[in-house]
Every structure is written in structure tokens, then in C-alpha cells.
Amino acid sequence: MKDEFNTIEGGIYSIEVKKSKFVSRGFNVSVEDDAKKIIKETKKKYRDAKHNVYAFSLLCGISRSSDDGEPSGTAGIQILNVINKFDLKNVLIIVTRYFGGILLGTGNLARAYFSCAHLMIENTKIIKNQIYSEIELELSYKEYNKILNSKNFLIKNVDFQKNVVVTFLVKKSEESQFKNDLGNLLSRNV
């Protein structure tokens, strides 16, 4: 697994193709339930639109898309292709279409959905996120002081009891190095 992933801050972009208006909205989401809630709210808010097509891709590996009544393969998968092209995770894109009275044909329709999503991403801020593992360790107070003095470790939480329970944040790719460094500092196996 990589130590980082890209997502978007969120944004909106619209285009017009043969009198049909396409409005692309991007959202940062981390779980499927949040994506479903936003999709439901968007469909309710823009119920006057002919279609509310969407795609999302999550860091956990889940991705979904919907053509929302458009011909199969012309809409949702096109948006998902854009998300994958930019290598984004934890992203939901909904493209709302207001029909302009002219049939576009499947080729033009697919290009319109792809372009609208693509332009929205190009015109929004892409955010790089770090992925960390949490490693919890019980230490003596003497060991805890050694860690504080070294300043080489990222600490998320400390619980002072009989001993000190410390939760560290460590990049996935650096876990074995973290264990070696901590073991050397404490003169014991971690």
C-alpha cells in the first residue's frame, strides 16, 4: 500500500453541449454512506434535472457508478474513468444534466460527461493525503522520557496510568524502520 493518496477539495464546473447543460460537482468523501447521502440530497435538490449521474472511488477499494437513466456506458463509467485517470481516492463526482431538447447520441453524450468531470477536477484543488498506521505500545515512564527527548516519533495519543500507553502514527512503508529505531532507542525488542 502507498503512503499517500490524492483527493479533491471539492468543486463545481458546468458546460453546455447542444443546449444540454451539464453541471459537475465534486465532493471529498471517505465512506460509502457519506457518498450515498450526498447523492440522495443532490437528486432531491436538483430533481428538475433529467439526470444526476455519479461515480465515486474510495481508498478502501470500493468504487461505484450510475448512469441514472442515460444509455449504458455513456455516463457513470465515464466519470469513474476521469477519477481513475487522475488517480484520485475518496472522491464523489455527480454530473447533473438538464436536457436541452437535442439528442446527443452515445458518443457525444459520453464525451460530455467525461469532459465535464475532467474540467471540474482540473479547476479544483487536488489534495495529497498521508496514510498512517497506528501502533500502540505500553512503556515505562523512563522509556517514555527517552522517546520525548528523541523527538523522532509522531505521537497521536498518550494515556498515563501505571505505565504509559503511547499511540504512534507511522507511515505504512516505514513500520519496520520504526520498530528498529524504537527498539534501538529503548534497548529492547519492540
Q: What's residue 1's pLDDT?
A: 56
95 closest CA partner among 131, 125, 65: 65
pTM of the model: 0.77
CA separation for the pair 128, 53 (Å, rounded)? 26
Three-point CA angle 18, 22, 23, nearest 5°: 155
Give the residue extent of every domain in the chain: 4-129, 131-186
Q: Which fold has domain 131-186?
A: Alpha-Beta Plaits (3.30.70)
DSSP 123: T
User: How do residues 3-54 score in pLDDT, each as one tens digit?
Assistant: 789 999 889 999 999 998 999 999 999 999 999 999 999 999 998 999 999 9
Cell of 190: 519492540
Asked, colleague to colleague, whether 4-129 and 131-186 share their fold, the answer is no
CA separation for the pair 82, 154 (Å, rounded)? 35
List, for the chain, all residue ranges whose pLDDT scores fall below the cut of 70. 1, 151, 189-190
Do residues 154 and 115 lie in contact, with contact meaning Cβ atoms separated by under 8 Å? no
- On whether the 4-129 domain is CATH 3.90.1150.10, my answer is no
Q: What's residue 28's pLDDT?
A: 93
Three-point CA angle 87, 38, 55, nearest 5°: 35
